[in-house]
Chain A
Amino acid sequence: MSSHRLRFTLNGQPREVAVAADRLLIDLIRDDCGATGTKLGCAVGVCGACSVLVDGELLSACLLPAVFVDGRSITTVEGLASDGLTPLQDAFIREGGFQCGICTPGQLIAATALLTEKPRPGPDEIRAWMMGNLCRCTGYYGIERAIARAARPT
């Protein structure tokens, strides 16, 4: 098995890690970097618990070979707010955007990507974008309210 030295940034911090060829991004983030905010759910790219941003692009860390992030910058839930909470994070708390919280890191990452691309998404746009992030607790109503609240002009 070949080994590869990767240089990347995780939530703004430069990292250098040697990984085996078969390492997946989810394991690089959680085990090698100790950032356990990103969760592993279904492991087949369906549930979205492992959603991360790679150079701003929304991806499944459970499906992405770690070698693909060499030279790129990764954002996980731990890196969303530099200080305090983002309006989206705060809205998730106030609107019941989560219950158990296991899907929440992925939901927040996906919704952040959505709001970057469409700062004022309509309900259909929220649903089309967020359908890749499963939540078993909320029925999604609170998530939709939270995203709409965060997108509301203040």
Chain B
Amino acid sequence: MTFDYHEPRSLAEALDLLGRHGDDAHLLAGGTATVILMRQGLLRPGHVVALRAVAELGGVSRTADGGLRIGAMATHRQVERSADALAYSPALVDAFASVATVRIRNQATVGGNLAHADPAQDPPPMLAALGATVTVRSPRGERTLPVDGLAVDHFTTSLAHDEVITEVLLPPIEPGTREAYLKFLPRTADDYATVSVAATMRLADDGTIAHARIVLGAVGPTPIRARRVEDAIRGQPTRRIGDAIAMIADDVDPVDDLRGSAVYKREMARVWTGRALAQLTR
């Protein structure tokens, strides 16, 4: 682990450093994941570009349209404690507050979390369920892409090497929409989820399901959108949920690991999706 450390003061400067050092450069946000990988010797960049001094990447605030903007360098704890985030969606705050421990949440950033693309993380499913997008900057300009789809594999995103996540934008939530984040922790309170479920749902005046979005964590190489279930319940009365959630087995793609066998996780995905949806229709 021997590298040059850079602390640009602006995004332009950061992009310039990334351009100059190519894939020998690694971005450093809060550092909770990167430091461990570097310490293990698994990550050996020649240049580390820290974003902590780039002021424009901070902040958590409501947007003019009633949505929420989270700067990429906002820490989990800043989201957790933000009155604006709470007003926007208590479930979003729950998802951030579910991550590890206070100490980690004080250090880990929202952008770093998304870029790390750990499929067992708590915030990405909730952000995806809320229809969040990320704004990404590179020397080629700025683009926007949905959080749902940012991760393409375990620890792998669709971002190019010289792209930097600058912010997460959450759209305004339609009135009547309810959200939930549930995390199944069968071993201990401080663990990665065996399965987690983020869901949003809105019922029409006639009691049928007008909108549902369900995203699961820890049961695939990326957060998994339960599209089959969503499609099956859209427009249907809530009593159809029970049958529909059985389809979750085809949406998820879990592996055996320390937090459960694939068989168990598949079943738990069904159980916890059912619980999340029950909470939203109660």
Contacts and interface: CB of A to CB of B under 8 A. Distances in A.
Interface of A: 1-2, 4, 20-22, 24, 43-46, 48, 51, 57-60, 63-65, 67-68, 110, 113, 127, 129, 131-132
A57 B3 contact: no
Interface string B28-52: 1001100110110000000010101
A129 B106 CA distance: 12
Interface of B: 1-5, 7, 28, 31-32, 35-36, 38-39, 48, 50, 52, 100-104, 106-107, 189-190
Contacts of A129: 102
B36 A1 contact: no
A57 B1 CA distance: 27
Contact of A45 (B2, B52, B104): B104
Contacts of B1: 22
A67 B102 contact: no
Contacts of B38: 22
B93 to A, nearest CB: 14
A67 B7 contact: yes
B258 to A, nearest CB: 14
B103 A132 contact: yes
Nearest to A48: B103
Contact of A2 (B4, B28, B104): B4
Nearest to B190: A131
Contacts of A43: 39
A68 B34 CA distance: 14
Given A60-B103, A63-B32, 10 more contacts: A20-B2, A21-B3, A22-B1, A24-B39, A48-B103, A51-B103, A58-B103, A63-B31, A65-B28, A132-B100
Greatest chain B CB density within 10 A among A1, A24, A63, A110 is at A63
A129 B38 CA distance: 28
9 contacts: A1-B2, A21-B5, A58-B103, A60-B32, A63-B31, A65-B5, A67-B50, A68-B31, A132-B190
